Amino acid sequence: MIDEKSRKITPWKGKNDLTPTQKFLKQTYDTYYAERRRKVSDCEEAEMINSYVPKMSPFCKSVRFRKFGYTKSGVQRYQCTCGKTFLPTTETIFDEHKISISEWMEYCLNLFRHVSITADSWSNKNAFATSRYWLQKLFMTLEDVQNGIVLAGDVWLDETYYRVRSEDVIRNNDGNKLPVISRNQICIGVATDKTHNVILVEGFGRQSQTKTLEAFKNHIKPSSTLIHDKETTHKRLVKLCRV
Ligand SMILES: [Zn+2]
């Protein structure tokens, strides 16, 4: 069972008759752990957060609000004319964060460098569940990030496949896995006009004309030139580009 405690505990916890080596190792580990788990109030991040002045109330979108004291951590609080109070971090990914933003940043950097969340949770001394929760939070934040992107001019398009998580693998009745490209593969379309990129899940299993069209129709400007591997499943999208 991987839980938060397992990251904190050393074999020498609660023992008094430690050898100098054990004492040294325990102290070093405990210091490192504490360093990784600094409370927001102990970091100097309030100043950084306060440098962001909200443009409007995150709740009612009103621009009529005033300064309204500070939190215990020294973060500027604001109050809207409707009475609701908020912070610069309210309704952002850092809302209600218990650990410092710098740790959040390190987590994101690791993730973007393809460090697995298991490895990250060990090196950052986080519970695995925390790392997974952060991942979900990050995905929610990024969910709409590609919405307004429309590629134009020369547009390169190709698909790649990723296997679903092992717990989602579907097997045949005889217990064997399905063929290589099957519902166990996530089809991801990648398109670029060398200014912007659009990366979308087209669906599970083999690509199809409908899947490709549905994924990309709002992301490629009509009369663009589609540069691709002549995959027949791109046909309907190519037609759309000729409009
Ligand atoms: Zn309001």
Q: Which of 82, 51, 49, 89 is nearest to 66 (CA)?
A: 82
Identify the pLDDT of residue 198: 95
CA of 67 to the centre of ligand 1 (A): 13
CA of 145 to the centre of ligand 1 (A): 26
Identify the pLDDT of residue 2: 42
CA of 64 to the centre of ligand 1 (A): 8
Token representation of residue 71: 């939190």
Reported confidence tier of residue 41, pLDDT bands at 50, 70, 90: low
Query: Residue 185 and residue 207: Cα distance in Å, rounded?
Result: 10
Reported confidence tier of residue 180, pLDDT bands at 50, 70, 90: low
CA of 60 to the centre of ligand 1 (A): 5
User: What pLDDT, in 10s, does the model give residues 58-79?
Assistant: 999 999 999 999 998 889 999 9
Q: Is the pLDDT of residue 156 over 80?
A: yes
CA of 142 to the centre of ligand 1 (A): 26
Greatest mean pLDDT among 18-22, 38-42, 124-128: 18-22
Token representation of residue 60: 């009612």
Give the torsion sign (CA, 109, 111, 112, 113): positive
CA of 13 to the centre of ligand 1 (A): 50
CA of 88 to the centre of ligand 1 (A): 14
Identify the pLDDT of residue 243: 55
Reported confidence tier of residue 6, pLDDT bands at 50, 70, 90: low
Q: Is the pLDDT of residue 161 over 60?
A: yes
User: What pLDDT, in 10s, does the model give residues 126-155?
Assistant: 778 888 888 888 888 888 899 999 999 999
Could you tell me if 177 and 205 are in contact, meaning their C-beta atoms sit under 8 angstroms apart?
Answer: no
Mean pLDDT for all residues in the chain: 85
Beta-strand runs (E) in the chain: 65-70, 76-80, 85-86, 154-163, 185-192, 197-204, 225-227
Identify the pLDDT of residue 1: 41
CA of 87 to the centre of ligand 1 (A): 13
User: What pLDDT, in 10s, does the model give residues 186-243?
Assistant: 999 999 999 999 999 999 888 788 888 889 999 999 888 988 887 777 778 888 777 5
CA of 82 to the centre of ligand 1 (A): 4
